[in-house]
Structure formats: structure tokens, C-alpha cells
Amino acid sequence: MINAQRFTFSRVAIYATLILAAAVYLVPLVVMLLTSFKTPEDIRTGNLLSWPQVIDGIGWIKAWDTVGGYFWNSVKITVPAVLISTFIGAMNGYVLSMWRFRGSQLFFGLLLFGCFLPFQTVLLPASFTIGKLGLANTTTGLVLVHVVYGLAFTTLFFRNYYVSIPDALVKAARLDGAGFFTIFGRILLPMSVPIVMVCLIWQFTQIWNDFLFGVVFASGDAQPITVALNNLVNTSTGAKEYNVDMAAAMIAGLPTLLVYIFAGKYFLRGLTSGAVKG
Amino acid sequence: MATLELRNVNKTYGKGLPDTLKNIELKIDDGEFLILVGPSGCGKSTLMNCIAGLETISGGAILVDDADISGMSPKDRDIAMVFQSYALYPTMSVRDNIAFGLKIRKMSAAAIDEEVARVSKLLQIEHLLSRKPGQLSGGQQQRVAMGRALARRPKIYLFDEPLSNLDAKLRVEMRTEMKLMHQRLKTTTVYVTHDQIEAMTLGDKVAVMKDGIIQQFGTPKQIYNDPANLFVASFIGSPPMNFIPLRLQRRDGRLLALLDSGQARCELPLGMQDAGLEDRDVIVGIRAEQIVLAPAEANGLPVIRAEVQVVEPTGPDTLVFVTLNGIKVCCRMAPDDAPAVGQSLNLQFDPAKVLLFDANTGERLGAMSSPQAQGRADNVAQFKGR
Amino acid sequence: MSSVAVFSKASPFDALQRWLPKLVLAPSMLIVLVGFYGYIFWTFLLSFTNSSFMPSYQWVGLQQYARLMANDRWWVASKNLAVFGGMFIVISLVIGVFLAILLDQRIRKEGFIRTIYLYPMALSMIVTGTAWKWLLNPGLGLDKMLRDWGWEGFRFDWLLDQDRVVYCLVIAAVWQASGFVMAMFLAGLRGVDQSIIRAAQVDGASLPTIYLRIVLPSLRPVFFSAFMILAHIAIKSFDLVSAMTAGGPGYSSDLPAMFMYSFTFSRGQMGIGSASAIMMLGAILAILVPYLYSELRNKRHD
């Protein structure tokens, strides 16, 4: 932070630029909201930022009718996948930081690469496997895929967090007679609230926002909301109802947006720690 | 309480790597306070972890009350440890920190309460019991860490540089308190430190370590007065011992060390007479307090006149630096006797207190110079004979 | 005085304890070996076969790669990736750094403004694509709005323009990711040693000089990290294209990720799809390996 308080003109210019930029970032969200409450007629006659002539909820109702079921699919996929991958990541991170053994560092290196893995290189074999397991086009199959390919990040989060905790803590607990799981459950886990939050939020946004796995491994009734939204927006049959499109997009975006608003601190930490250290 | 014995303990982290611990031999009696002291990286903390069972040893045996514990897991060794970082469980209250080990060992709730009460009274932390470690000062955390160890009533206590995270004043206070505690409880204790003052003040026995090898094992007094080699002599004592490299001469059957202060020379006859020391590069070691002002009338001891170059008052005494044989030499004097810079002084040495070291190996040369030395010789013989 | 029973050494419980860390890690190790490296190798194998709708293991050597190289659509996709990736990374970095520096000037309500810049990152690329597809809609989007506001001659139909559609992707992607770059740099700026800046001020350096010559060069690691992440997003970009243009018009806005998906899963040409996936992996490695190399080397120097 450099003290520039004295130059009043440049202060004004800085604030003006920042506010203008904020407005630009907000425009798409505002347009989505405005459009979603307009009638198709209103959309044709008005413009992006014109106020709706009447606030009309029909777009939202129609959107929910179309994508509501898939919204619940996304919930059914996201909740278990987030919990399972976070739990496994925590255990992995615990072992990789506090109970290293010959080869565990190598494993961590191999796992780290998973953070950068372009999923295109595993899509085909993964789809064969999902098919063999009879999980094609099921939400269970997607849970499995998300757990497997989320492990790299969840492990990284916990491992980096636990590495910063002095291992004397584990030594003390071992001398006190505590075993592997007792040390984890009674000592480390209660200290892990911040990183658990980071990991949950990171996994939630990743999995909720996923499109690639959804479109490859699930179609029809099992597809997540991102796939449903994409199908809705890109159908070329019938008249385009932009109010429905925008309402559906809002429905798809709201859960992660709310998480961001209420837990932005952890969201940012996840982005930077996960990404920077990756 | 218990005895602790290390027999030929070795530790290595893999083939090709240097040994972390080499042939460690130690034995302390029930209730004794053993200090492991040495520079960082000397293996003292590794040795402590091996005793605790947090690391496995590569060879040898660790015996507690003559029973080999080297294969046991830490929880079965009945050993408690106080860590440098205190390692208090941050999410638990002080009470739960102290009680944790007892709960794990399935002690009854009433017994746990009693034990927590006993320990917290002993350490005067009763008013802190419901606080979390994060709300405590460094000194208070230190007490809680000790309380956690005391509550277990283990056979042996291990302390890993427990005072090094405290500020200077508190460190001295806690040092005294630990000594008091040990005098009252008479617990068998192993204490790791890099601070030679802690080593001298706290220990019944001191083991000076370097490069994974015990350089000397003895009482603080033996270590101070009769260091086994140059390393021990230089590591223990503050200000450090003065070392003057020179060649010895023999005249009239007496060994002489020639000193030169630039303005005067002196032939210092040595207390030891061993053959073979003459015409050989040695290092003469003498402690700062053993260089004294010569009295006004001659007392038969040689005198050397030297110019004062630096004067450092420390309060209780004043350190005066002169140059002998091109080496800066420190003398400790009472503040009232201290000269000014540029003045010249007449200095005297007690030849019986002067030590000799081999210039190449650093090993101590010559017969032991003082009665205590005999004790050390016995000790070494006993040590080697085992 | 001891109150604890001493067990004989190496009880079964101890043995289990000793194995527990390995047991706990074992499933993940299996997953990583099979699901990551095994599958990559499998895809690698498939790229040397004549697999079409179903996997086949008839070896055809480099034939699929030759077909890929001869495929015009692949080249369009690769060229688009270069344009899209290059512009996306550069513009995001410039905007992100600029906003971070402005926000670093003891701004009131900084947290609130930061929140606004960063929120697009929480959204799915599908949502972003949907929103921008509507905003850039020729006829009803910005096109019409600016004309309504009095700019009569304004035309914006890049979404339908084969040569310019890729810029639409850039706009949407920059909107989504530049706030994130800003957050990374802001964190980096907060970590810069303030005494260095004061020293420069005492030496009489102006604000822009201080930032350009002293502060930004010290943020090199942040630049590298941001570059890595943005490049990674660009190479994997699939959802944005899918929602915004579906690769159109024609295949003029295709990206390799889109190419791979449509050849592998829609057009039943697994062989060539696998070959394109391996090419993508190569692109990631080409960026990742030098990055990791320099990271590790720096660490050794610390």
C-alpha cells in the first residue's frame, strides 16, 4: 500500500476507474436478472438494460419446470461427491504430512499432476469403466468420477495445511498414547475448520459448475443442471424465450453465487492456495 | 522412577548417508538429571526422539530399569516429553490438555480430576485450567506442557529445549523453577539444550555431543574443568576458553610455553611434565577467570606485561582483552580492578590450570592437571570398560 | 510409580498401527495409478488404433495423428486456441494487474469492490456463456442497446462472424477470470516489503516508477502462477464454447477440447479423438514442465 492520499485528482480518477470497472463486471448479472423478469414481448421492444414494463415471473416458472429436476440431480451429485472427496482428501493429507513413509512423497508428486490433468485424456477409459460398472447415465457414476478426479485438489489442500502444523503435536499425542485415528479425530480435525471450509467450497463450486463430466457420463434423466441449461440454451427448435434462458442460467448459477457471497473469504483462499501451490 | 541406559545406540537414515548417531553409551541413575548438549545438528534431538520411540534406532539397545524398550511403540514406553514448541493441543482447554493422556489410558474421571488438580497446584496454573493454549503467554504454555508430562507420572521425562522459546528473563526464572521442581520430585530426566548455561546449572550429568558422537560424559564440573577435547572446552563456558596455538619447549626438564604480548615475553612453566610434548604444535587453553592481575610483590609465578585493547564491562565482572602470540585473549576481572584501554597490565596464570590440546586432533594432551581430573579419568576408564 | 501396564513389544495392535498410514493411502494410490496414469496410457494406446464407435485394438501406428494433422478443423481449433489463449491470458493479466494496483491505494470499501470483481469466478462457464451469448446477441443484445441509446450506426454481430467469433469467447473468458487475477496480484502486493517502497520514495521515485521498476518485478512468481492457471483454463475450455457458440458458426470457434469431445463422442472417431487428447496433454506438459523445473530450482536455492 503506497500512500497517495495527497494527490486528490488522482484519487478521484482511481475511484472513478474502480467504480466503472465494478459496473462493467456487474452488467451481465444485471442483464440476466432484468431479462429473466421480462416478457418475450418486452425483450423484443426494450433493450438489455431497460427496466421490465411489468415484473413477470413466468420466465422463472417455465425455467424451473424445465431444469428444476436437473437442479436436484446436481444436488444429488454434488453433496455426496463433495463430502466423500473432502473426507478422503483430509485422510490423505494427514498421512502425507504426518505419517510419511518411503514412497509417500513420490505419490504426492504423482497426485499433484492430477491438478493439471486435462480430463480429455482420461474421458474415454473412464467412460468404459463407468459403463462396465453399470453406472453410465446415473448420478452415482458422476459422484464416483467427481470423487476420483477431485482427490488431487482435496489432498493438496489438506496436505499443505497439515504440513504447516508442527509435527511435535503428533509426537506429543503419540506419547500420550493416542493412535492414528485418535490423533486425527481428536487433535487435527478440530484444528481443520478453515481448510475444511476451503475444501468444501472449492469442491462444491467445481462439481456444481462441471459440464464436461456431466455431458460425457450422464445424459437424459441423470444429467446435471449445467448440461440441462446448455441444452435449453442451444436448442434451435421453437421461438427463443430469452427470459426462460436467463432465469434458468440464474437458477444454475445461484447456489455457487450464494456460497461465494456468504463464504467469499474461503472461496478466495481455495482459489489462490489450490491454484498457486498446484 | 527409573534408570536409563543406552548401549551402543546407532542411528542412520539410510546407506551412504552419514550416521546420525554413533555408538552412544550413557547410563543415568534413578532420579538423575541428564543434559544432552551440543550445537544444532549434533544429533541430540534425534537421540531424544529415539528414547521416546518416535524414531527407531538402527542398532544397540535402550534400557529402562534394565528392560530393553527399543522395540516398543512410544505409548508403551511410559515416557513423557515436553517439546520446544510446547505442542499443546490448540483446540483443547488446559484441563483437557493435561487430561488427554490419562483419558486415552482409560483412567477414571475422578482419578483424572484428582491428577489435574495435583499437577495444576504444583505448577500454579489452577486459574488457567479452562483457557485455551492460544490465550496463554509463552511462560504459561510452558507450564501447561510440563503439567501434561507430570500428570502421566511416567518413568522418564524428556525435555526438548523447553526454554528456548521464552524471553531471556523468563528463561532464567523457569530454569530455577525447573531445578527446584527436580530437587523436590527427583524424577529421572533427559534434557536437550544447546545452551551451555542450562547444561551447567541444571544437570547432574552432562553429555556433550557433536556429529552424532558423545564427546564427553560427566558431571558439569568435570566437563568445565577437564574437557576431553578442544570442542568441549570451546563449547562449555562463557566467555569461551582462550586458545593459543604454540610450540612447547623443554628446558631443565620443564615444559615451557612461550608467550609474547608484543611488549614483553614470558616463559610459562606448565604443570604437566609428560615426555614427547616438546617441539610439537599444541594449543594452550586457559579460561578467562584464570588469568589474573599479578600482585604487587613477586609470588614466584611468571608475569607478562600486556596492553589492554578492549574493555567490556558486563556488570558483575569486566572482560579485558589483550593480545598474546597474536591471538586476542580474554581476561575476567572485578569491575574495580578493570584498567582503561591503552593501559598496560601485569598478568599471571596458574600453570596448574592451563590445559593442552593436540593442534591436529584437538584431543586433550598431558596428565590431568587437577584432583577433579582424576575423577574424570576414572570415569573414562569405567565408561570404556563397560 | 508407573500406573500403566507395559505391553509386550509389537502386539498385533501395534503392527496394525504401523500399517494404518499405508492402508489409508492405498485406495488413493490405486486410484491415481489406475484412474490417472493408467487411463492416460490407455488413451495413448487408443490413439494408435483404428478405434471408431467402439474401441478396437488394431494397431495403425501414427495414422490417427497423420489424419489429425491433415484435418482442417483441428488446425482451426489449434489456431483458435492460440488466439483465444494468447488474448485471454494477456488481457486478463493486464486488467487484473491494473485493478489490483488501483485497489492497493487504500481504497474505501475495498472488500466490497473486490467481491464484485471476483464473483464471475464462482459461476459455471456454462452460465457465463449463456449470459454473454445473450449480451452479444446480434439484433437484441448490446447491438440494439447502444443503438437505442442513440449510437445509430452501431453494429455488433461478431457471434455470427466466422473471423471474429473467437473474440467473443475472449470477452466472456476475460470477464470471468480477470477478477481472479486481480485477487492473486492484490495478495501479492500486500506481501511486498513496505520498507523497499519507502526506500524508493525516499530516493525520489514516482508512484508509476515504483510499481513498474520495483513492485511488479518482485511479483514474478505471481505472474508465473497466474499464467499457469490461465493457460490451464484456456486449454481445458470446453464448456464456454459449448454454451456460447457450440463451435459455430460452422466450426470456426472450435477449440481442441471441443474438437476432442465431438470427434470422440458425437462422431464416433475415438482414434482421432484420443490423438487430439494426447496432443492437449502435450500442450499442458509443455507449459507445466518448465514451470515446475524453475519452481524446484528456485526452491533449492532458498
Which of B76, B107, B154 shows the shortest C-beta gap to C7? Answer: B76
Cell of B353: 590450570
Instruction: Please indicate, yes or no, if residue A126 is contained in any of the structural domains.
Output: yes
Question: Are residue A232 and residue A174 in the same domain, yes or no?
Answer: yes
Domain residue limits at C269: 71-301
pLDDT digits (tens, 9 = 90+) for A80-104: 999 999 999 999 999 999 998 888 8
Measured in residues, chain C has a length of: 302
What is chain A's mean pLDDT, rounded?
87
Which of A2, A230, A271 shows the shortest C-beta gap to C242? Answer: A230
What is chain B's mean pLDDT, rounded?
87
Distance CA B116, CA B147 (A): 8
Residue B85 contacts A, CB cutoff 8 Å? yes
Distance CA A16, CA A9 (A): 11
Residue C7 contacts B, CB cutoff 8 Å? yes
Question: Are residue A107 and residue A129 in the same domain, yes or no?
Answer: yes
Domain residue limits at A247: 60-274
Interface touch B89/A182, C-beta < 8 Å: no
Question: Are residue A75 and residue A170 in the same domain, yes or no?
Answer: yes
> Checking DSSP bridges between strand B281-286 and strand B205-210, what pairing results, if any?
unpaired
SS3 C59: strand
Give residue C41's pLDDT. Answer: 94
Residue B386 has pLDDT above 80, yes or no: no
pLDDT digits (tens, 9 = 90+) for B172-221: 988 998 899 899 989 999 999 988 889 999 999 999 999 999 999 999 99
Residue B31, Cβ density class (10 Å: 0-12 exposed, 13-18 middle, ≥19 buried):
middle
Q: What angle do CA B352, B355, B361 make, to 5 degrees?
A: 160
Count of domains observed in chain C: 1
Residue A278 has pLDDT above 70, yes or no: no
Q: What angle do CA C108, C112, C115 make, to 5 degrees?
A: 140
Please identify among residues 178-207 of chain A the ones whose CB lies closer than 8 Å to any CB of chain B. 178-179, 182, 186-187, 190-191
Instruction: Give the least confident one: A202-206, C40-44, C137-141.
Output: C137-141
Contact list in C for residue B73 (CB cut-off 8 A) is: 14, 17
Question: Are residue A124 and residue A252 in the same domain, yes or no?
Answer: yes
Count of domains observed in chain A: 2
Instruction: Please indicate, yes or no, if residue C294 is contained in any of the structural domains.
Output: yes
Kindly indicate the confidence band of residue B1, based on its pLDDT and cuts at 50, 70 and 90. Answer: low
Q: Are A77 and A138 in contact (CB under 8 A)?
A: no
Question: How far does the CA of residue C230 sit from the closest CA of chain A (Å)?
Answer: 10
Distance CA C136, CA C168 (A): 8
Between residues C61 and B27, the one the model is more confident about? B27
**Test the C interface: residue of B3, B30, B69, B73 with most C CBs within 10 Å:** B73
SS3 C153: coil
Give the residue among A198, A208, A200 at the shortest CA–CA distance from A267.
A198
What CA dihedral angle connects B144, B146, B148 and B152, to 10 degrees? -160
Residue A168 has pLDDT above 50, yes or no: yes
Distance CA A224, CA A212 (A): 11
- For the stretch C157-164, contacts whose Cβ atoms lie closer than 8 Å and that sit 24 or more positions apart, written own/partner, are C159/C133, C159/C244, C159/C245, C160/C249, C161/C249, C162/C249, C162/C250, C162/C252, C163/C252
Distance CA C297, CA C280 (A): 26
Type of residue at C90: V
Q: What are phi and psi of A117, to 5 degrees?
A: -60, 125
ipTM associated with this complex = 0.88
Please identify among residues 236-275 of chain A the ones whose CB lies closer than 8 Å to any CB of chain C. 242, 245-246, 248-249, 252-253, 256-257, 259-261, 264, 267-268, 271-272, 275
Report the Cα C295 to chain-centroid distance in Å: 19
Please identify among residues 54-73 of chain C the ones whose CB lies closer than 8 Å to any CB of chain B. none
Q: How far is residue B269 from each of residues A248, B257, B278, B288, B348, measured CA to CA in Å?
A: 101, 6, 12, 19, 12
Please identify among residues 132-151 of chain B the ones whose CB lies closer than 8 Å to any CB of chain A. 148
Distance CA B23, CA A255 (A): 64
Residue C4 contacts B, CB cutoff 8 Å? yes
Residue C51 has pLDDT above 80, yes or no: yes
Residue C249: cis peptide before it, omega within 30 degrees of 0 = yes
Closest-approach residue (CA) in chain B for C1: B1
Q: Are B44 and B37 in contact (CB under 8 A)?
A: yes
Give residue B376's pLDDT. Answer: 41
Mean pLDDT of A167-189: 92
Closest-approach residue (CA) in chain B for C9: B72
Kindly indicate the confidence band of residue B256, based on its pLDDT and cuts at 50, 70 and 90. Answer: confident
Interface touch B74/A175, C-beta < 8 Å: yes
Q: How many CB atoms lie within 10 A of CB A236?
A: 6
Give residue A187's pLDDT. Answer: 93
pLDDT digits (tens, 9 = 90+) for B38-81: 998 888 989 999 999 998 899 999 999 999 998 888 888 999 99
Q: Are B339 and B320 in contact (CB under 8 A)?
A: yes
Interface touch B154/C2, C-beta < 8 Å: yes
For chain A, helix, strand, coil in percent to 5 are 75, 0, 25
Residue A201 contacts C, CB cutoff 8 Å? no
Closest-approach residue (CA) in chain B for C10: B72
Q: Are C118 and A268 in contact (CB under 8 A)?
A: yes
* Residues A37-75 as b or e (16 or more Cβ within 10 Å = b): bbbeebbeebbbeeebeeebebbbebbbebbeebbebbe
Type of residue at A171: K
Question: Are residue A24 and residue A130 in the same domain, yes or no?
Answer: no
Which of A114, A215, A249 shows the shortest C-beta gap to C131? Answer: A249
pLDDT digits (tens, 9 = 90+) for C63-121: 889 988 988 999 999 999 999 999 999 999 999 999 999 998 888 888 889 889 999 99
Please identify among residues 100-119 of chain B the ones whose CB lies closer than 8 Å to any CB of chain C. 105, 107
Question: Are residue A173 and residue A235 in the same domain, yes or no?
Answer: yes
Interface touch B73/C14, C-beta < 8 Å: yes
Q: At what angle do helices A104-113 and C12-31 cross, to 10 degrees?
A: 20
Give residue C177's pLDDT. Answer: 92
Kindly indicate the confidence band of residue C246, based on its pLDDT and cuts at 50, 70 and 90. Answer: confident
Closest-approach residue (CA) in chain C for B156: C2
Distance CA C31, CA C33 (A): 6
Instruction: Please indicate, yes or no, if residue C254 is contained in any of the structural domains.
Output: yes
Distance CA C123, CA A249 (A): 10
Cell of C97: 494487474
Give residue A5's pLDDT. Answer: 53
The topology under which CATH files domain B240-358 is OB fold (Dihydrolipoamide Acetyltransferase, E2P) (2.40.50)
Residue C10 contacts B, CB cutoff 8 Å? yes
The topology under which CATH files domain B4-234 is Rossmann fold (3.40.50)
% chain C with pLDDT above 70: 95
Instruction: Please indicate, yes or no, if residue C28 is contained in any of the structural domains.
Output: no
Contacts of A178 (CB under 8 A, 6+ apart): A186, A187, B75, B100, B104
Cell of B212: 552424532
Contact list in C for residue B76 (CB cut-off 8 A) is: 4, 6-7, 9, 14
Instruction: Please indicate, yes or no, if residue C118 is contained in any of the structural domains.
Output: yes
Which of B73, B85, B89 shows the shortest C-beta gap to A187? Answer: B89
Give residue C300's pLDDT. Answer: 56
Closest-approach residue (CA) in chain C for A206: C124
Distance CA C234, CA C222 (A): 18
Question: Are residue A161 and residue A203 in the same domain, yes or no?
Answer: yes
Interface touch B155/C1, C-beta < 8 Å: yes
Interface touch B101/A166, C-beta < 8 Å: no
Contact partners for chain C, using 3 or more CB pairs closer than 8 A, are: A, B
Interface touch B83/A177, C-beta < 8 Å: no
Give residue C169's pLDDT. Answer: 93
Closest-approach residue (CA) in chain B for A177: B75
Give residue A273's pLDDT. Answer: 63
Interface touch C9/B72, C-beta < 8 Å: yes
Interface touch C117/A110, C-beta < 8 Å: no
pLDDT digits (tens, 9 = 90+) for B93-125: 999 999 999 999 899 999 999 999 999 998 899
Contact list in A for residue C183 (CB cut-off 8 A) is: 268, 271-272
Give the residue among B315, B301, A1, B254 at the shortest CA–CA distance from C104.
A1
Residue C15 contacts B, CB cutoff 8 Å? no
Q: pTM (2 decimals)?
A: 0.85
Closest-approach residue (CA) in chain A for C145: A47
Residue C193 contacts B, CB cutoff 8 Å? no
Contact list in B for residue A173 (CB cut-off 8 A) is: 89, 100
Question: Are residue A107 and residue A238 in the same domain, yes or no?
Answer: yes
Kindly indicate the confidence band of residue A7, based on its pLDDT and cuts at 50, 70 and 90. Answer: low
Q: Are A55 and A37 in contact (CB under 8 A)?
A: yes
Mean pLDDT of B291-311: 86
Interface touch B89/A175, C-beta < 8 Å: no
pLDDT digits (tens, 9 = 90+) for B123-144: 899 999 999 999 999 889 999 9
Instruction: Please indicate, yes or no, if residue A1 is contained in any of the structural domains.
Output: no
Instruction: Please indicate, yes or no, if residue A240 is contained in any of the structural domains.
Output: yes
Mean pLDDT of A4-30: 85
Give residue B32's pLDDT. Answer: 94
Question: How far does the CA of residue A78 sit from the closest CA of chain C (Å)?
Answer: 14
Give the residue among B96, A67, A92 at the shortest CA–CA distance from C25.
A92
Instruction: Please indicate, yes or no, if residue A2 is contained in any of the structural domains.
Output: no
Question: How far does the CA of residue C12 sit from the closest CA of chain B (Å)?
Answer: 12
Q: What is the 3-state secondary structure (H, E, C) of chain B?
A: CCCEEEEEEEECCCCCCCCCEEEEEEEECCCCEEEEECCCCCCHHHHHHHHHCCCCCCEEEEEECCEECCCCCHHHCCEEEECCCCCCCCCCCHHHHHHHHHHHCCCCHHHHHHHHHHHHHHHCCHHHCCCCHHHCCHHHHHHHHHHHHHHCCCCEEEEECCCCCCCHHHHHHHHHHHHHHHHHHCCEEEEEECCHHHHHHHCCEEEEEECCEEEEEECHHHHHHCCCEHHHHHHCCCCCCEEEEEEEEEECCEEEEEEECCCCEEEEECCCCCCCCCCCEEEEEECHHHEEECCCCCCCCCEEEEECCEEEECCCCEEEEEEECCEEEEEEECHHHCCCCCCEEEEEECHHHCEEEECCCCEEECCCCCHHHHHHHHHHHHHHHC
Question: How far does the CA of residue C16 sit from the closest CA of chain B (Å)?
Answer: 12
Give residue A276's pLDDT. Answer: 45
CATH of residue C220's domain is: 1.10.3720.10
Question: Are residue A33 and residue A144 in the same domain, yes or no?
Answer: no
The ranges of chain B annotated as CATH 3.40.50.300 are 4-234
Interface touch A261/C39, C-beta < 8 Å: no
Q: Are A52 and A247 in contact (CB under 8 A)?
A: no
**CA-based torsion, B369, B375, B380, B382: positive or negative:** positive
Closest-approach residue (CA) in chain A for B149: A176
Contacts of B243 (CB under 8 A, 6+ apart): B230, B233, B234, B283, B284, B285, B327, B357
Cell 469466478: give the residue.
C121
Residue A122 contacts C, CB cutoff 8 Å? yes
Residue C302 has pLDDT above 50, yes or no: no
Interface touch C1/B78, C-beta < 8 Å: no
Residue B371 has pLDDT above 60, yes or no: no
